[in-house]
């Protein structure tokens, strides 16, 4: 045994093992076998499988493989409990959530040890990060529940929420899903990851001590088939999923057309950008946390290092020295930096990806234990298109390349199908705040990494998913408007009369693409008739090539997103002014097409333009109150290119109600106007041409909603698609949108009162924006 003097001479770390007797005793109290948690109690274990400690390979317990019948029982129990849980009110739910937070703290060491044994992450991470954040989420959402009735009137719970969570943060992901769902008045059926179910079962058991009513929280264990059964069950009203992009895409397809609400937090390949003026030592310490925290098994891991060329050699040399000092070993040892990989299957995946790289591979010169461990690894010399610069590895592997200018750094950072998080390191705060809006990510950390809090929304863009977790924005994903909605009655187009009335000079309305009138690619057009048999004109029938051209034009107008809110407001006011000058003409056109007086619709359309002009510079972000020396800015950004199938029943007002919020928030759009009454839209682009709106910001393609919905929904350069069409297209749109996981907002065949409050407001603004959380720590 080393003497004290020898230890001080070498400064070597000695073992500091955490006891695990209490965790093993809890497992033994259940005879090492667990059923599902349904209706406030464990079911009898059946069809069990083993869960193992990844660091030792030893079996910890046996848990039950959930079947479709188990899921159905859990959903039925949750449905029966939901009404009572919602009726106790926000204040009543707040007390239960507060009690859950306190119980997590009281059992914090047991949770931390059990998490490390089941997952393989170092005990320091479970103890000091995961479990405190779990408690924080329940405390924070207890507060939201307390305020919910007064702050969000007119909203009600979704109902029964299905949650499917991953194995990298088992208990924390439970908190991210369960806390907001319960705060909002929903009940939950949760499926934990098959590798790491134990802390979820422990949480369920202690929830009785918080007074959580039976059936409010139900947990069904099992593999991917069990998760698929939760997703597919018709009694589930919302799905919240965290996991891989490939599985998220399958869930998007499986829920298409079902009417289920959906939030997805998926994979990432987050850039870690280091400028030459950065504090290099701090950036390297941050990088250790970014990529080797939890063994790199983190969706937002800073796994893609972009370092400015002038300091790259020195940075890599220092990084390698730091890597060599990392300690691997028993995750229950408090001196360990990097723990075990969660399962041998994941370990083989990591090895296979690294073995196939063309880059220069450096493995840390630290002792690697036998078993399910992989050393911290740096792969440099890669180019932007290299497989490992694009694909998520989900392990302790960092890939690196260099850049010269800030513009090149932005291009490299955005050269990814993902958009979850990014870190920017520079001592120039002006540069950092200039870069943050340009990087495509839902979260940006300035001179920091992996900062999380319940008050600050977390989530991605692109193929990293949609929706936010945390803050009011996260809670709103578990609520819906209380107003009852009627089925949409589809208006019918006027058929060609037996005897046509043709007057005046022939008039054929073209498409409107890139600020110009354009003939349809297919060369087809359609006659439009009045109710009295008068030929009103012809409109072009757009096809997929016209959609392609319109999307290209919209992308070419990306400068619109950088315009100030004041500038966008002025143009919206000008559009309203020019429409007002032609109000009588548009009213007559609407009457010809619909047979109804169009004066009220035109006046409402002008008013709506003025409303969104007013919102253009007033839809503000927030500064979140996080419990650390940092500012977390929740900034509203444009979604990008929004496609929209406009309502048939209000041909002018419907189009403007969709267009105005989109462009007010800085988006470009591709609009497919009313199919039965398209002429007000083709007249309207003449207003746009005289209103100083930049070319490509608004593009109008007339034609069949059924024909144009698929190319719009499937287009990889469309960032969101809205549909208020009378055609039953919601399922098709949601399924096609799975290609690039674009956001969708569809009507599911339900009507909307375009003349009333439902036709405008914050719901439209929220759909037209992404919330980006920018973290800026301060202090010495």
Residue 265 is among the residues annotated as catalytic for this protein: yes
- Cβ atoms 406, 430 nearer than 8 A: no
Tokens of residue 280, six digits:
């290099």
Task: Give dist(CA 648, CA 727) in Å, integer.
Answer: 9
Distances from the Cα of 339 to the Cα of 53, 133, 205, angstroms: 11, 20, 28
Beta-carbon neighbour count of residue 38 at 10 Å?
Answer: 25
Tokens of residue 139, six digits:
């405390």
Q: Which of 18, 205, 265, 469 is catalytic?
A: 265
Task: Give dist(CA 116, CA 750) in Å, integer.
Answer: 48
- Cβ atoms 398, 379 nearer than 8 A: yes
Residue matched to tokens 């990293």: 464
Task: Give dist(CA 647, CA 435) in Å, integer.
Answer: 38
Residue matched to tokens 């959903």: 75
Tokens of residue 672, six digits:
């497919």
Question: Which of 654, 658, 618 shows the shortest CA–CA distance to 642?
Answer: 658
Provide the 3-class DSSP secondary structure of residue 185.
coil
Instruction: Tell me the DSSP string of 153-169.
Output: TTEEE-SEEEEE--SSS
- Cβ atoms 164, 219 nearer than 8 A: no
Question: Which of 704, 703, 755 shows the shortest CA–CA distance to 727?
Answer: 704
Task: Give dist(CA 290, CA 297) in Å, integer.
Answer: 10
Q: Any idea what the Cα angle at residue 303 is, between residues 558 and 717, rounded to 5°? A: 25
Strand partners, 39: none
Torsional sign, CA 602, 603, 607, 610: positive
When computed from its CA atoms, the radius of gyration of the chain, rounded to whole angstroms, is: 28
Task: Give dist(CA 548, CA 715) in Å, integer.
Answer: 8
Provide the 3-class DSSP secondary structure of residue 539.
strand
Work out whether strand 516-518 and strand 511-513 pair parallel, antiparallel, or are unpaired: antiparallel
Residues with Cβ within 8 Å of 24's Cβ and at least 6 positions away in sequence, in order, are none
Tokens of residue 31, six digits:
């005879």
Instruction: Tell me the DSSP string of 352-394.
Output: HHHHT--SEEEE-SS---SSS----EEEES--TTSHHHHS---
Burial of 19 (0-12, 13-18, 19+ CB in 10 A): exposed
Provide the 3-class DSSP secondary structure of residue 283.
helix
Tokens of residue 398, six digits:
């960092």
DSSP structural state of residue 19: P
Task: Give dist(CA 163, CA 242) in Å, integer.
Answer: 8
Beta-carbon neighbour count of residue 383 at 10 Å?
Answer: 10
Work out whether strand 622-624 and strand 630-638 pair parallel, antiparallel, or are unpaired: antiparallel
Q: At what angle do helices 131-151 and 108-119 cross, to 10 degrees?
A: 120
| Helix/strand number for the chain, H first, E second | 27, 33
Q: CA neighbours within 13 Å on the CB side: how many for 540?
A: 20
Distances from the Cα of 208 to the Cα of 131, 151, 700, angstroms: 19, 29, 57
Task: Give dist(CA 178, CA 673) in Å, integer.
Answer: 41
Task: Give dist(CA 572, CA 554) in Å, integer.
Answer: 18
Distances from the Cα of 293 to the Cα of 118, 320, 337, angstroms: 17, 16, 8
- Residues identified as active-site: 265
């Amino acid at each position: 045994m080393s003497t004290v003097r020898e230890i001080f001479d070498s400064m070597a770390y000695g073992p500091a093992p955490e006891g695990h007797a209490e965790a093993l005793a809890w497992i033994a109290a259940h005879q090492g076998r667990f059923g599902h948690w349904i209706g406030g109690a464990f079911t009898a274990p059946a069809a069990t499988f083993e869960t193992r400690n990844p660091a030792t390979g030893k079996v910890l317990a046996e848990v039950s493989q959930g079947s479709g019948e188990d899921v159905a029982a859990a959903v039925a129990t949750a449905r029966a409990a939901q009404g009572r849980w919602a009726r106790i009110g926000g204040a009543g739910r707040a007390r239960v959530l507060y009690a859950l937070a306190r119980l997590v703290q009281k059992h914090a060491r047991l949770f931390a040890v059990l998490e490390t044994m089941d997952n393989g992450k170092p005990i320091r991470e479970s103890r000091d990060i995961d479990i405190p954040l779990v408690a924080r989420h329940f405390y924070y959402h207890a507060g939201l529940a307390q305020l919910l009735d007064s702050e969000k009137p007119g909203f009600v719970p979704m109902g029964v929420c299905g949650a499917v969570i991953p194995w990298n943060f088992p208990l924390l992901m439970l908190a991210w899903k369960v806390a907001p769902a319960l705060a909002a008045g929903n009940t939950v059926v949760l499926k934990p990851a098959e590798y790491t179910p134990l802390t979820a079962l422990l949480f369920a058991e202690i929830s009785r001590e918080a007074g959580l009513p039976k059936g409010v929280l139900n947990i069904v264990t099992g593999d991917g088939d069990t998760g698929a059964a939760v997703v597919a069950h018709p009694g589930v009203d919302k799905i919240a999923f965290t996991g891989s992009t490939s599985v998220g895409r399958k869930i998007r397809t499986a829920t298409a057309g079902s009417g289920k609400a959906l939030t997805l937090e998926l994979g990432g390949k987050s850039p870690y950008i280091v400028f030459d003026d950065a504090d290099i030592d701090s950036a390297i310490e941050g990088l250790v946390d970014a990529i080797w925290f939890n063994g790199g098994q983190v969706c937002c891991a800073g796994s893609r290092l972009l370092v400015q060329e002038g300091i790259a050699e020195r940075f890599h040399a220092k990084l390698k020295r730091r890597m060599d000092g990392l300690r691997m070993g028993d995750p229950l040892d408090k001196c360990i930096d990097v723990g075990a990989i969660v399962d041998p299957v994941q370990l083989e995946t990591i090895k296979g990806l690294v073995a196939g790289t063309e880059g220069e591979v450096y493995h840390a010169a630290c002792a690697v234990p036998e078993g399910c461990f992989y050393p911290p690894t740096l792969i440099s010399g890669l180019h932007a298109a290299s497989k490992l610069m694009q694909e998520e590895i989900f392990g302790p592997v960092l890939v690196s390349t260099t850049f010269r200018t800030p513009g090149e750094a932005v291009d490299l950072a955005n050269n990814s199908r993902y958009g979850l998080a990014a870190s920017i390191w520079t001592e120039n705060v002006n540069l950092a705040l200039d870069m943050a809006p340009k990087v495509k990510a839902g979260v940006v950390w300035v001179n920091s990494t992996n900062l999380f809090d319940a008050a600050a929304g977390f989530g991605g863009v692109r193929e990293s998913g949609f929706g936010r977790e945390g803050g009011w924005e996260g809670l709103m994903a578990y609520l819906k408007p209380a107003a009852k909605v009627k089925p949409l009655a589809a208006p019918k187009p006027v058929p060609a009369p037996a005897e046509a009335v043709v007057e005046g000079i022939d008039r054929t309305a073209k498409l409107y693409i890139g600020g110009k009138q354009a003939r349809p690619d297919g060369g087809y057009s359609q006659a439009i008739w009045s109710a009295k048999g008068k030929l009103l004109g012809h409109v072009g029938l757009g096809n997929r090539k016209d959609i392609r051209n319109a999307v290209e034009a919209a992308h070419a107008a990306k400068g619109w997103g950088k315009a100030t809110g004041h500038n966008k407001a002025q143009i919206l006011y000008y559009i309203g002014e020019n429409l007002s000058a032609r109000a009588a003409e548009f009213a007559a056109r609407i009457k010809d097409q619909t047979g109804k007086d169009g004066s009220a619709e035109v006046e409402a359309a002008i008013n709506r333009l003025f409303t969104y002009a007013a919102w253009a510079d007033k839809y503000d972000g927030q500064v979140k109150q996080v419990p650390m020396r940092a500012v977390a800015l929740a900034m509203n950004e444009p979604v990008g290119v929004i496609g929209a199938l406009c309502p048939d029943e209000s041909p002018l007002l419907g189009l403007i109600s969709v267009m105005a919020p989109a462009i007010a928030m800085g988006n470009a759009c591709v609009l497919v106007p009313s199919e039965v009454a398209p002429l007000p839209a083709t007249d309207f682009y003449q207003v746009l041409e005289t209103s100083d709106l930049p070319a490509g910001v608004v593009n109008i393609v007339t034609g069949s909603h059924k024909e144009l919905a698929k190319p719009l929904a499937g287009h990889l350069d469309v960032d969101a698609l809205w549909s208020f069409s009378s055609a039953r297209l919601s399922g098709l749109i949601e399924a096609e949108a799975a290609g690039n996981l674009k956001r969708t907002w569809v009507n599911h065949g339900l009507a909307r009162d375009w003349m009333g409050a439902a036709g405008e407001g914050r719901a439209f603004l929220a759909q037209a924006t992404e919330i980006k959380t920018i973290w800026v720590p301060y202090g010495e």
